[in-house]
Chain A
């Protein structure tokens, strides 16, 4: 039963990746082009318009964007996944969590590729990888839990309240400013640091950078709230989708 479930998610994700690639001329290249383009936009805005950012600002920004995009992009896409699976769920019984979870898997694959690109760029700029890179696996795992939780919550809300999808866009636009993508959290006042690190994605991004940009081991103390929140969100998400599992097909 579980193996069937995993098979289905995996195959749907592979199918989606292939199918997406056939939609554009550049195909798989877009996995890298998309984050690079958004890097260009933010870089120009912050460096030349606001005159912010010093030193390796481009790499700093790029790492933040790539990590944030995995989270935000997945949650945004997942939000409509159950609604758009409406036709399919009339034809066969599937547990509705496969809709958001296959989006998570699709974006995870793209994320890993772009994260490797980030690491390569960092290396080229003169910061060699260290053993602390092993702890990236833990951070990726934690981010998957967080992303899957938020994705399932949003996917469960949209069928009842489609306007949520539009509100979510705004929330994600706001959240990027509260996630330390453009600035270093440790340079802010103590109170601001404390509050920002309660935001799980902010804490996760900060620790990713600790590893990739400084070659240091992540600081578990700053990750505790994120671990705790991710587990709670995952639980809520799984609970909601499961609760309405048989209800979604009846919404017409």
Chain B
């Protein structure tokens, strides 16, 4: 029997308009009714149209926000969301930002010290690493962000691929690295619009439409259903 990592039942989540008091009704429901489970070692793809609530769902899995309805239980394991460039400060150097972002993503100082050279190597930034990142090109910045997140190593990882950036060569490189990570025995939840990749990597697929999870089908059938809804639009 496999351990259940995530167990979501009838999750609903609403955002509130800023500058509104907690007791005022300014709600905007991003998720209405989502239920699914993720077992240990699985790679689960989450697909759905823009604005369906995929990113919100990932934030709930990561424990960044709490659902307003329904229940979620999480196994007691370290979970990281691959957030690129979390907490970057424009005026600090690449090296300083590695520490800042690494700490935020959950690494401790020793881990960062150990991995800092590898991170710099993967980001391929060269001497610019000791320059303030405001002088970086957007490609360099996203490479640095990716590399930091890549070296945060936990057994459960959440990936929002829609956010990935960089030039074509780097995209291919990162895509390869992520694939390797996914194929290991980690538990992965992957938000993606790239259907061939979902087909290749995912054991299961959850489709979200208008804040609701649809009935779970096999990977192929899910993708077919998703492509149909895309055409209807």
> B64 contacts the other chain (Cβ, under 8 Å)?
yes
B19 interface residue per 8 A CB criterion: yes
Check B87 against A250 for contact (C-beta < 8 Å): no
B13 / chain A contacts, CB cutoff of 8 Å: 250
Report A's interface with B, CB cutoff 8 A: 4, 7-8, 11-12, 15-16, 18-19, 22-23, 88-94, 159-162, 244, 246-247, 249-252
Closest to A159 in B: B18
Nearest-CB residue, chain B, relative to A158: B19
Q: Name B's interface SS.
A: loop
- B contact residues around A159 at 8 Å (CB): 18-19
Bound-complex Cα distance A224 to B20 (A)? 38
The contact sample of 20 A-B pairs, CB cut-off 8 A, is A8-B103, A12-B87, A19-B89, A22-B92, A22-B132, A23-B91, A91-B64, A91-B87, A92-B81, A92-B83, A94-B104, A160-B19, A160-B20, A161-B19, A247-B22, A249-B64, A250-B65, A251-B15, A251-B17, A251-B20
Partner of A250, one of B15, B91, B106, B109: B15
Hey, which chain A residues are within 8 Å of B17, CB to CB?
A: 251-252
For residue A245, give the distance in angstroms from its CB to the closest CB of chain B. 10
- Given the complex of chains A and B, what is the CA–CA distance between A91 and B99 in angstroms? 16
Q: How far is the CA of A244 from the CA of B65 in the complex (A)?
A: 11
Cβ-based interface call for B173 (8 A): no
Whether A250 pairs with B19 at a CB distance below 8 angstroms is: no
B-side contacts of A94, CB under 8 Å: 104
**A92 CB, min distance to chain B CBs, angstroms:** 5
- Complex CA gap A22/B99 in Å reads 18
For the complex with contacts A22-B91, A251-B18, 14 further pairs of A-B residues with Cβ separation under 8 Å are A8-B104, A11-B103, A18-B92, A19-B89, A19-B92, A91-B81, A160-B19, A247-B22, A249-B59, A249-B64, A250-B14, A252-B15, A252-B16, A252-B17
**Within the assembled complex, what's the spacing in Å between the Cα atoms of A4 and B103?**
8
Question: In the complex the two chains form, what is the Cα distance from A159 to B66 in whole Å?
Answer: 18
